[in-house]
Amino acid sequence: MSPTPSRARRLRFLLVIAALALGSLVTVTDASARRPLGENPDRDFLVHDGLRRSYVVRVPDSVRASRKPVPLVIVLHGGGGNAVITERMTGFTAKAMKEGFIVVYPEGTGRRDGILLTWNAGHCCGYAMDHDVDDVGFVRSLIDTLSRRYPIDPKRIYATGMSNGAMMAHTLGIRLSDRLAAIAPVVGAVFGDEPLPASPVSALMINGALDHHIAQAGGPPSGPFARAWDGTPTRPAAEQALFWARADNCGPAAQAAEHAPVAHWVQRCPHGRAVERYVLADNGHAWPGGEAGSRRGDVPSTAIDATDVIWRFFADHPNPP
């Protein structure tokens, strides 16, 4: 028996959201990622806006022992992803253990616990957007929760993410500018109608020239991805840097270096603020230097390690005194 039209639409929607995470059905290939949330001992929970929200936090032993204030890095999964996939893909936990900072992997919301999760970044994506989920409030509550539990330096709180998570990193930078020192969206975009933040926030953007899911040239969503957000066209990738340059009162961009396949631009910003942009000619919709989300996902460029680059940028840009 063929599925009803409404059921078929729901099935297509679920497949689209899974694909948006990393260009493939990452969430159905990882058994640990499919495990119900209550059965995963690494996940913690808090209740925000009537919803039980989940996250995975990693704290170096050195931090627990010393209680000296340390940075917090928030790493946001792509649309359809979750904490398990993102931790493995980015390698941010190993970086946190080596450098002595706390990393947390929050999880979005979806129709089922633990899989096909999305973030409400305004125009994208999926369940979170459709249900107007208060993800900004959730992240603020998460920062407050972790700050009560661990010795987090309030001047060194940062957010990064990929794809839908990159869009959410932009949203957090705008709406939590009182809490975040810097953001680092990876293979993300802006939509052109974002309000300027109340306070300046340093920003680093990384995009791939081969990205067919969030195109360098911008434009409306096409093909199956048209169902994942509300149809508002993304702006060209370079406009991310222009937006944050305006927010941080920066001057024109200067091309810092170009060593194929990497191009790197740096805005001229006031002391204590920075806006930088990388474009990798050999990277698609993937986390450079990390792992592919699945066997069918884009192969990440090895020209840079995004996690290394992002951490150096964060470490160099706390909130000014």
pLDDT in tens, 19-74: 444 343 333 334 444 445 545 668 999 999 999 999 999 999 999 888 899 999 99
* Residues in contact with 168: Cβ distance below 8 Å, sequence separation at least 6, in sequence order: 76, 119, 120, 121, 135, 161
Statement: residue 89 has pLDDT above 90: yes
Cα of 248 vs its chain's centroid, Å? 21
For residues 15 and 218, what is the distance between their CA atoms, to the nearest angstrom? 23
CA distance 92 to 255: 28
Contact 163, 189 (CB under 8 A): no
pLDDT in tens, 179-235: 999 999 999 999 999 999 999 999 999 999 999 889 999 998 765 566 788 989 999
Fold classification of 5-316 (topology level): Rossmann fold (3.40.50)
User: Residue ranges of the domains in the chain?
Assistant: 5-316
pLDDT digits (tens, 9 = 90+) for 248-291: 999 987 777 778 899 999 999 999 999 999 999 999 999 999 98
